[in-house]
A and B are shown apart, each in its own frame.
Chain A
Amino acid sequence: MAQVDRFGGEFDGVLVAARSGEPWALERIFTTLSPVVAGYLRMQGSHEPDDLTSEVFVAVLRRVGSFRGDEAGFRSWVFTIAHRRLIDERRRLVRQAGVGPMPAGYDAPAPDDAEADVLRSLARERVRELCDRLVPDQRDVLLLRLLGAMTIEEVATAMGRSVGAVKALQRRGFRAVGRILEREGVPL
């Protein structure tokens, strides 16, 4: 996957400092990864993506002292926590009667309603629509791989599924995206 270096090559130093409780390192981790984690949760239809994002990083930063690995592994770990928090939220909502789908327009408009902002908003909405039309497990796999940059094996662990099952879900997810694009023209 695209090996995005979000820490500018400084991940190892940031991690060491974070494990010592250095506030600047904790802040760096949060500011670097919270946008993509929040984006993942939004695309997954989380009802409260901002609150859930904070929950994720509370869990991450409390346990950062026990993490060992590189940036890719750290990102995978963060997204595993995010995914599980998302599942917890879904279960909570299922238990609560009458919880409906996300209200339209949850995606707050940018402060400056310039054309570019509108186009970006439309693009986000379109992507979310596409993802909504996937089978949930297929959506989970695609988003964890694309946004979490997780390997097949890491996704399997996060979802509690076998590697073979994840591969199948990935394959079918991509084919489903293709069918949607075919039916509706090329919206991208």
Chain B
Amino acid sequence: MSHISQIRRSSPDDETVEAIVRGRPVDARFDAWVAFARLVRTAAVDLPGPGPSDELAVILRGDIEITQERDPMDVGRIASVAAKVATLGAAKVVLGATLAAAGVTGAGAAGVLPGPAGDAVRSAIETVTPVHFDDRDGDAGSADHQDGFGDEVSDDATGESDGDDGVDGHTISEEAPGSEHRPDQAGSPDDGPGQPDSTGLDRANETPAAPNAPETPDPGAEGGGGDGSDGGPPGSVPSTIPSPPGRTESHERP
């Protein structure tokens, strides 16, 4: 019988295929497949292995630190935290000439944003203005806090100041960063952004950047600071970024 006819009549079943793949003995009818498997294995290693690339050579010399075992759960946790920080950062950190949007920056200056976001806001404010915030070491609950931190509760929270229990923003603790730059009368909810007839310049004048705000708004500005009802950015708002020495022209909002 020709080998060809053997092949035609002897297609291996799953069990035989498995045996051939694993190198176990099978019936002689399947010799062609056995030979195929053997040839594949032989041909694959018939040539010597290639030399290493430059990058691989560095690793083979032991010049690169080998990644140690990491708990797979850590990867998920790290990714989750990174995602949260990214969303905070994208929305809050880019300040530049938008200091007039006092809702966020005021909150950041007042220290009521969560730690990482608040730090980012304060850092950005320090970058564009001469304002300096006292360093906060670590997050809440860290051993680096000053003694007695948290012992004092604001009058606003206790209701002593306004008769309403709970913090409603009417009173800001003197312990919150930026207190030395805060206006005598803290903003109230009624003075929030977007109130009728208020402009961004009005709000700018209430922020630490006030010394750098222009005297008059940009003639092209529409509606001043905007009422924020559409959730979008305010209209054309004059820049409050101080001009570098030697430049006198007004800055357009980036």
Contacts and interface: CB of A to CB of B under 8 A. Distances in A.
B75 to A, nearest CB: 11
Contacts of A99: none
Interface in A34-73: 34-40, 42-43, 49-51, 53-55, 57-58, 61-66, 68
Contact of B52 (A19, A49, A54, A182): A54
Contact of A36 (B3, B11, B44, B61): B44
Nearest to A50: B50
Given A50-B50, A167-B14, A178-B32, A43 B43 contact: yes
Contacts of B84: none
A171 interface: yes
Contacts of A167: 14
A185 interface: yes
A129 B51 CA distance: 26
A85 interface: no
A182 B4 contact: yes
B43 A124 contact: yes
Nearest to B16: A174
Nearest to A188: B35
Interface stretch (B62-70, B129-137, B192-200): B62-70
B60 A61 contact: yes
Interface stretch (B17-25, B117-125, B167-175, B177-185): B17-25
A18 B65 CA distance: 11
B64 A66 contact: no
Nearest to A39: B44
A122 to B, nearest CB: 10
A156 to B, nearest CB: 14
Nearest to A1: B22
A186 interface: yes
A22 interface: yes
A53 B50 contact: yes
Given A65-B68, A146-B41, A178-B33, A38 B49 contact: yes
Nearest to A54: B53
Highest count of chain A CB atoms <10 Å: which of B23, B52, B69 = B52
B140 interface: no
Contacts of B66: 18-21, 61-62, 64-65
Interface string B185-205: 000000000000000000000
Interface in A135-188: 142-143, 145-147, 167, 170-171, 174-175, 177-178, 181-182, 185-186, 188
A30 B11 contact: no
Contacts of B39: 123, 126-127, 188
A188 B36 contact: yes
Contact of B21 (A42, A64, A145): A145
Contact of A120 (B33, B46, B60): B46
A147 B41 CA distance: 6
A34 B37 CA distance: 20
A43 B65 CA distance: 33
Interface string A1-30: 111000000000000001111110011001
B81 interface: no
Contacts of A34: 49-50
Contacts of A19: 66, 68
A28 to B, nearest CB: 10
A21 B20 CA distance: 38
Contacts of B56: 30, 54, 57-58, 61
Interface of A: 1-3, 18-23, 26-27, 30-31, 34-40, 42-43, 49-51, 53-55, 57-58, 61-66, 68, 107, 120, 123-124, 126-128, 130-131, 142-143, 145-147, 167, 170-171, 174-175, 177-178, 181-182, 185-186, 188
12 contacts: A2-B41, A23-B60, A34-B50, A61-B66, A62-B66, A65-B69, A142-B40, A171-B17, A174-B17, A178-B8, A181-B7, A181-B32
- Please give me the 3 A-B residue pairs with the lowest Cβ-Cβ distance, nearest first: A39-B44, A2-B23, A34-B49
